[in-house]
Structure 1
Amino acid sequence: MELFVDDVDVSVDFYCDVLGFEVDRRAEDYVSLRRGQVVLGLGPVAKLPEQAEGRGFTRQRLTGGKGAGVEIVLEVDGLDELRALYERCQQRAAISEEWGLRPWGLHDFRLADPDGYYLRITHSDSAAQGR
């Protein structure tokens, strides 16, 4: 998955310092981050064309809410890791929806990244212990 962001350095700081990603590789206008099996690309909105024909990404298209209508779900390995990440996020980010047990049997919480991409942090069903 690749997210187009306003400031790549701010986003790298958020994903690394808050969510525990690590820089996998970095180029002048692109950063690849990794956390376990999740790979996330970050590219600057500024590299996109101002406007274009068709449905591709453009700067004009991203002037509205980035990721509107999309929830990015990140799974961690278990409740202990989820709880630790939640506590870390409480100190460093604005939580949109507090930790809770959902009707589908998993715990999660939600927050937005610096560009407004909406993230749900949860644990895998195979690690659903202590429900």
Structure 2
Amino acid sequence: MIFACRPNLLVGDLFGSLRFYADALGFAIGWEWSDRSGRFLRDGEHCEPGEPGTALVGRDGVQIILTQLAGDHTTRLHLDVEAATQVDELFEEWRGRGVDIAEPPFVRPWGMYEMRLHDPDGNVLRVSSPPA
């Protein structure tokens, strides 16, 4: 039975993307891997990869894999939360950290309360819940 999904977002700068997801969005860095010899985390210490690689970030039970790859790429990632107040809390948290929110929360024509933002690589993150 499928119990989880970990989308893989393609990014142009793994280290910059890790900083955005960790510092701006509050995700924890789970692991980084950039070559066949092993991982680059030591007891929770963040280490910059020596070459383009892959990393996993997570927050509140959601995990995202980031893979560095040159070129243009855009993915749309939809993050669900249980209540409209949680969308508002994330909006205030991220805006307070200087994240450029592309569209603030409002009820969409399809009935969901949603905000949208872009990561440094142009990937679209949508955060939504049923309306209050």
Q: Take 2:68 and 2:87, find their aligned partners in 1: how far apart are those partners?
A: 29
Question: Is residue 119 of structure 1 aligned with residue 125 of structure 2?
Answer: yes
Q: CA RMSD in A?
A: 1.8
1:20–1:77 CA distance, 2 compared to 1 (3 A): farther
Identity of aligned residues (%): 29
The answer to whether residue 26 in structure 2 is matched with residue 27 in structure 1 is: no
Q: How does 1:1-131 map to 2 (within 5 A)?
A: 1-28=7-34, 29-45=53-69, 59=70, 62=71, 64=72, 66-67=73-74, 70-91=75-96, 92-123=98-129, 128=130, 130=132
- Shift of residue 17, structure 1, vs aligned partner: 2.2
Q: TM-score w.r.t. structure 2 length?
A: 0.70
| Partner amino acid, structure 1, of 2:103 | E
> What amino acid sits opposite 1:26 in the alignment?
E
Q: Output one character per residue of 1:49-92: Cα deviation in whole Å (capped at 9) or x when no partner.
A: xxxxxxxxxx4xx3x3x21xx42111123222211110122232
Conservation of the 8 A alpha-carbon contact between 2:87 and 2:127: yes
Alpha-carbon distance between aligned partners in 2 of 1:77 and 1:14, rounded to the nearest angstrom: 24
Select the structure with the greater relative contact order (CA < 8 A; seq sep ≥ 6): 2
Length, aligned pairs only? 107
> SS of the counterpart of 2:15?
helix
Deviations 1:10-51 (A, max 9, x none): 111211222222112222322111123321111211xxxxxx
Give the deviation of 1:129 after TM superposition.
Answer: 5.8
Unmatched 5+ residue regions in structure 1? 46-58
